[in-house]
Amino acid sequence: MTFNEKYKDYVLLIKTFDFAFKIIDYTEELQEKKKFVIANQLLKSGTSIGANSKESQNAESKADFIHKLKIAIKEADETEYWLFLCNAHQAYPDCEVLLNDLSEILRILNKIISTTKLNN
């Protein structure tokens, strides 16, 4: 069974998992270009979004669930910063697709948090 098969009903988990794959590919491209510092930062923050989203599925309470998703948002914000930096610099490969994917993930995270708070 694959991740996508197991979590097919969890849009956030599927999107963050797919995003992590794209981040891995992008950071490998950066490493080939000897952009090690940015690649490492992006790899950590970009894959952490999904890890924290996944961890939220085992939250002990609504407050814990929201807290874990807020950590995912912080990691997404950091990832967005690094991607904006890459996007602005001519020596870095294009990352517009990643920025678009991340924007959608942030919308989903914010919607889940606001909906969960309303139902509290």
Q: What is the pLDDT along the chain (120 residues), one digit of tens a residue?
A: 999 899 999 999 999 999 999 999 999 999 999 999 999 999 999 999 999 999 999 999 999 999 999 999 999 999 999 999 999 999 999 999 999 999 999 999 999 999 998 886
Measured distance CA(110)–CA(93) in Å, rounded: 29
Contact 88, 65 (CB under 8 A): no
Quote the Cα angle for 101-104-106, to 5°.
110
Instruction: Burial-class residue 25 by CB neighbours within 10 Å (0-12, 13-18, 19+).
Output: exposed
CA distances from 38 to 25, 26, 62, 105 (A): 14, 11, 34, 21
